[in-house]
Structure 1
Amino acid sequence: MSILKDLQNLVEADIITEDIADDIRKFYQKKSSPPSNRLFIVFGILGAILVGLGIILIIAHNWDELSRFTKTCFAFLPLVIGQVLCGYTLLRKQDSIAWREGSSVFLFFSVGASISLVSQIYNIPGDLGSFLLTWMLVCLPIVYIMRSSATSLFFIIGITWYACEASYWSYPYEDSYMYWLLFLGILPYYYLLYKKSPSSNFTILHNWFIPLSLTIVLGTLADRTEELMFVAYFSLFGIFYLIGELNFFKKEKKRYSGYRLFGSLGTVILLLVLSFDWFWEDLRRGHLIFKEVISSQEFLVAMLLSLIASALLFLNIKKNQWSNVKPFAPVFVFFIIAFILGLWSPISAILINIYVLALGLLTIREGAKQNHLGILNFGLVIITVLIACRFFDTDLSFVARGILFVSVGAGFFLTNYWMLQKRKNQ
């Protein structure tokens, strides 16, 4: 870098001091080193995974010809190697992220391989759900001892897989309550990672993996009154969106946080699904009994998530005032009102359609206000999909439907053209 070459000349000319020159050198060295370090970390993690898979494949090739004792030795071999590597890392290389991540990931998969091999050798009964649960329980300490963010991500994937296997994919279904305890177990590491490296790639990946995992697994809590899970999901997406509106995520680029995307996209998808009459007709025919509803776990989950979302909304309003609150933030409140009305009246389907239309218009307004084409077009897409949904369940003539689509297409063109012209004139 040319500025580093000129530092000595600047010192000799008494323009800067030697201390300032050293600080500049350290700054640029720190700034230029991360790409190579990141690449080394990625290759370290991939190398650990490939070596582990290679060892398993080599052993598997001659597996049937080995004695039980030899099989047991080979079953524990990856686990021993992984522990030795982690021990060496803690003693000699604890400041190396590549060593920490690589050895931790190797040990993580070694644990899974050893458990499965020992179970197969000694015919220990069990299903995939119990195997995943045991694997994740054993590997949780690795995350904290090794300070491994890659292992944390694999852990989140593992507990999500366990919950899906236990409550979605197996029959008879089992409760996956252990997922929530394991999820709480990984949150302190997520907090420490955020405090230490808020803009690191590992933190960004956690910001995407955590809301995705919660979105997938929340449905496992459905039991007797499944209708209430819609309230729970609206509140969950409200929480995601409001977390994305917190100061840190609001100042960072959109890719740094999946919370706002999951919150807004999840809310729109649910609103569009519930804009049809089928759900509200089933809700009115369900004849929900009040005592059964308030004693159900779905009610407790919906209530808890709604209270958390309401608290975040209150803080958001207190900070920004109503005029500056984003359109997606209070949607969960409006849906709760529509849900209560929908227990007795068909008006809820109409209200949902009004919500979607208003949400699209307010999003277009927000995009124009921020001079952001992405937000503006998102609002147009919301209105377009709403019109498409009504295309299938209304008795409008083909001419009327065609006029609607032509109008929306013209709206796309005109709003984008207006926005581009506005940018040119600024």
Structure 2
Amino acid sequence: MSRTRVVVTGMGTTNPVGGDVATTWEGLQAGRSGVRRLTDDWAESMPVKIAGRIAVEPSEILDRVKARRLDRSAQFALIAAAEAWADAGFEGTASEAGLDGDRVGVAFASGIGGVTTLLSNYDTLLEKGPRRVSPLAVPMLMPNAPAANISLTYGARAAAQTPVSACASGAEGVALATDQIRLGRADVVLAGGTEAAIHPLPIAAFANMMALSKNDGDPTTVSRPWDTARDGFVLGEGAGVLVLESLEHAQARGARIYAEVLGTGISADAHDIAQPDPAGRGGSRAISGALRDGDIDPASIVHVNAHATSTPQGDIAEGLMLHATLGAHVDQVVVSGTKSMTGHLLGGAGAVESIATIKALHHRLAPPTINLDHQDPQVELDIATKPRELPTGDIAALNNSFGFGGANVAVVFGSI
């Protein structure tokens, strides 16, 4: 694989904190939670009654007819992609923007896929019979539907990949996009992930496996990474998209560059289908792999946007990973847990958190972790509870993502 340098030239998101990147960044810096009490009729019977709904509904943005042909997860994907594409300076399709569509790719993930489409059509089948099931159900529910619709919208023909690695999926999309460019298969790739799983069945399933917090207090205080009172994650929804390009391609067209993808690492725990390796060995291999991939000195890492879901075991394991990979330098690293505000976006998490990591580098300001009242003594990290300034000069930041099945992805971004 070549050492082609890969840079970020566009970003887009829709999530519980904001309907675009600017609003999201302002909300994260302000410590604003997007977690709310669910108002759906079905929520009253659920063991968990809170979640992170997106701040701006797709109906306020997308054409109504087009939206009806898309699962909610794909709706989020197209909204975030449109912002990222325009932010990168492109208009219309790839060819209309002066690009060769054969050199534009997609690496866009989902952890679960079109679960709301699947379950609603199953309800229709039971209640009204097979003739009433939507003929669009399969192209709406398939996990690669968001990637396919992005490819169709922008005429991106290099590839339309869909990594499905649970909660690590969005970050894996960024890693695969980086590989596409380094392998010479594309000049520009739309990368990231999406999820829309706020539905009775996923909520009941996550709750019954003791993964979700059952705290029924103020919804904005329930997601609390590293706090001694944490008892599980808060389900969220949303999407994030990055436009990645080779540095040469970006410079040739005079593009604004936010950051560089310095290195990526992927590993598997091979430990348990749901629980992380308690020693954090798998995640450590992913982080070490990202550092090796970019020939990165651990001392250049000044900030980590951690996976930090608020699960008792996961938060401790991630702390061990950072100590194992960054050594004594970990004491000089500012750590943020933005899921304290967004909730856990599953397949969209790694993408949205990549955006937060890049914005932190770009503005030299790490976002806070909210709801951290009493830090777990087993987690020996410098966790920002207020916005924290980052150093000047050439610096790097790490984004971690881990998922069920033992999936681990680490991405290191560098200032430029």
- TM-score of the alignment, normalized to the shorter chain, above 0.5: no
Larger radius of gyration: 1
TM-score, normalised via structure 2 length: 0.27
If each structure's strand is expressed as a fraction of its own residues, which one has the higher value? 2
Tell me: higher relative CO, structure 1 or 2? Use CA pairs within 8 A at least 6 residues apart: 2
TM-score, normalised via structure 1 length: 0.26
